[in-house]
């Protein structure tokens, strides 16, 4: 937050100790966020959690293991509704959809509970007030409460309860204010630690799926990092560009541009591809706390999505312009 210099000097002169305490609180909260991000990817754990959003409730079982070389193995399966099983080895992800007799293969590092936080949390304290607010208990485990209050209306608030010893997130929710929850995750049963157990991450569908349809369209044929020719006419406060690349995808004649902006916690992905026929009209949709906005720009379709308020993805998508070679030449 930027204040006028005289007012800032007055605040520091009169209330120096209080300002220091606030800074200390924020840095303690940030330390817990870093511990949570590390724990969700470096610990062995097996458990069951519940996801709630709008009128939807879904229960899933997760098993996560890490070997001595740092390799990750994970299995996630839904326990109610349509069957879905996701097997991950590092960034190789295979999703089994028995009802559709389909296997989707892709390459990505997913952001899902409990691994909701990225390793790069730079910028968080510029955009959120981060506080540790006492203790709680989830699924039989003691945990510390960490709350992130946004400093403006461009982002959501977040609540976490991290296991007191390891920092593993046991409960998480996103909210507009303290009274309106957008979505939430919480373990109902959890075991932390123990050695690798192959049976916990073995697919129950792999043998049956040999004659199923295999969809590899999400795996790019090639990726080129660098300038795409797309720029923001107006900057979005607190968000900075993290990734910019072009992907060649099997079955598509034109490349798809992908740009990611982040405020240190929330990320907004922008996809730019040739305009389909019939021509799309601007439209906004959402899935839980994730808002998705699509609009045509000249001969392109721009889609912005992220776990941020609808106004934020709309503002970012409407600010995006194609400047082609001129953009690259000016850098």
How much is the mean pLDDT over the chain? 88
What gap in Å lies between CA 117 and CA 265, rounded to an integer? 7
Residue 122 pLDDT exceeds 80? yes
Please tell me the pTM assigned to this model. 0.85
Residue 22 pLDDT exceeds 50? no
Q: What is the pLDDT of residue 327?
A: 44
Torsion of CA 123, 126, 128, 131, to 10 degrees: 90
Q: What is the pLDDT of residue 8?
A: 27
SS3 22: helix
Q: Where are the alpha helices (DSSP H) in 102-248?
A: 124-127
Q: What does the block give as tokens for 13?
A: 């002169």
Q: What does the block give as tokens for 175?
A: 């909210």
- For the residues 304-312, what does the mean pLDDT come to? 96
| Distance set, CA 102 to CA 18, 218, 241 (Å) | 58, 14, 35
Nearest residue to 60 via CA among 152, 150, 172, 186: 186
Q: What is the pLDDT of residue 180?
A: 87
pLDDT tens figures, 187-237: 999 999 999 988 999 999 999 999 999 998 878 777 889 999 999 998 899
Partnered with residue 272 across adjacent β-strands are 257, 302
Domains for the chain: give ranges and CATH numbers. 5-214 (2.50.20.10), 220-329 (3.30.200.100)
Q: What does the block give as tokens for 195?
A: 């050695």
C-beta of residue 111 within 8 angstroms of C-beta of residue 104? no
């Amino acid at each position: 937050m930027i204040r006028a210099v005289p007012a800032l000097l007055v605040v520091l002169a009169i209330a120096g100790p209080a300002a220091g305490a606030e800074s200390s609180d924020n840095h303690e909260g940030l330390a817990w966020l870093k511990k949570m991000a590390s724990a969700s990817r470096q610990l062995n754990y097996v458990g069951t959690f519940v996801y709630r959003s709008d009128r939807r409730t879904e229960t899933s079982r997760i098993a996560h293991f890490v070997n001595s070389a740092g390799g990750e193995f994970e299995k996630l399966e839904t326990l109610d509704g349509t069957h879905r099983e996701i097997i991950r080895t590092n960034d190789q992800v295979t999703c089994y959809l028995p009802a559709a007799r389909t296997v989707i293969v892709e390459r990505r590092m997913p952001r899902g509970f409990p691994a909701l936080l990225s390793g790069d949390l730079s910028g968080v304290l510029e955009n959120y007030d981060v506080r540790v607010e006492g203790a709680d208990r989830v699924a039989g485990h003691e945990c510390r409460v960490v709350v992130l209050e946004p400093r403006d209306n461009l982002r959501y608030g977040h609540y976490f309860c991290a296991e007191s010893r390891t920092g593993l997130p046991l409960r998480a929710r996103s909210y507009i204010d303290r009274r309106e929850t957008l979505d939430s995750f919480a373990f109902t049963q959890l075991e932390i630690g123990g050695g690798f157990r192959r049976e916990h991450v073995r697919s129950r569908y792999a043998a049956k799926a040999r004659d199923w349809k295999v969809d590899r369209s999400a795996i790019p044929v090639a990726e080129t990092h660098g300038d795409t020719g797309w720029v923001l006419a107006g900057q979005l406060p607190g968000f900075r560009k993290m990734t910019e690349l072009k992907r060649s995808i099997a079955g598509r004649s034109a490349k798809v541009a992908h740009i990611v902006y982040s405020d240190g916690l929330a990320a907004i992905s922008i996809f730019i591809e040739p305009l389909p026929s019939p021509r799309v009209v601007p439209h906004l949709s959402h899935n839980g706390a994730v808002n998705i906005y699509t609009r045509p720009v000249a001969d392109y379709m721009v889609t912005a999505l992220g776990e941020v308020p609808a106004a934020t993805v709309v503002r970012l998508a409407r600010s995006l312009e194609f400047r082609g070679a001129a953009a690259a030449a000016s850098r």
